[in-house]
Amino acid sequence: MKSLIRPALSLFLLLSVVTGLAYPAAVTGAARLLFPAEAAGSLVERNGTVVGSSLIGQSFSGPTYFWSRPSATGPIPDNAAASSGSNYGPLHPALAEAVKGRVEQLRAAHPDQHGPVPADLATASASGLDPHISPAAAYYQIERVAKARGMTPLAVKTLVDRHIEYPSWRIFGDRTVNVLELNLALDELAMSRRGA
């Protein structure tokens, strides 16, 4: 038995060093070298200040901004420390009530829209932190944002179109719009119009 303990402990220590220290250090170093922005959290900066991450959703509620997907994280929306969905099944009454309430709020905020409300504006994502909406969800909000900012709908639509992100090789996934980056672009456009 004693003859087995020394090789077992040696192998345990070797694997602990390789898998617990060397491999994570190598992967982290390679990531920081090859993908520095992504390895640092894909942080978005404006004027030297971090305003968010392009990977984590933020709540926007004012009429001058595009709204993100609803968030089911607690105790506050878009809480990165508590990523979760509601875990309600599709037939759960609480989910149906939540979606119904969100649709009513969206219809009240967008009286000019008569078509169906895009699903991603009425339902939360599985993580509760989705930073993207579909182009349809962005187009649904154009009239409200344009009116609140005193812009033409065409100018806002042009900005939305410029912020549509295409899937990898244009085949894997769906087209999306990053809400934080779109709203920052709206603010930059407003500042440039004031300065002009």
Please indicate, yes or no, whether residues 34 and 46 belong to a single structural domain of this protein: no
Q: How do residues 81-136 score in pLDDT, each as one tens digit?
A: 778 777 888 888 988 998 999 999 999 999 999 899 999 999 988 888 889 999 99
Average pLDDT of the chain to the nearest whole number: 90
CA atoms within 13 A on the CB side of 180: 19
Please indicate, yes or no, whether residues 98 and 187 belong to a single structural domain of this protein: yes
Please indicate, yes or no, whether residues 4 and 54 belong to a single structural domain of this protein: no
Please indicate, yes or no, whether residues 60 and 27 belong to a single structural domain of this protein: no
Please indicate, yes or no, whether residues 99 and 178 belong to a single structural domain of this protein: yes
- pLDDT tier, 182 (very low <50, low <70, confident <90, very high otherwise): very high
Q: What does pTM read for this prediction?
A: 0.81
**Domain, as residue range, for 109:** 42-195
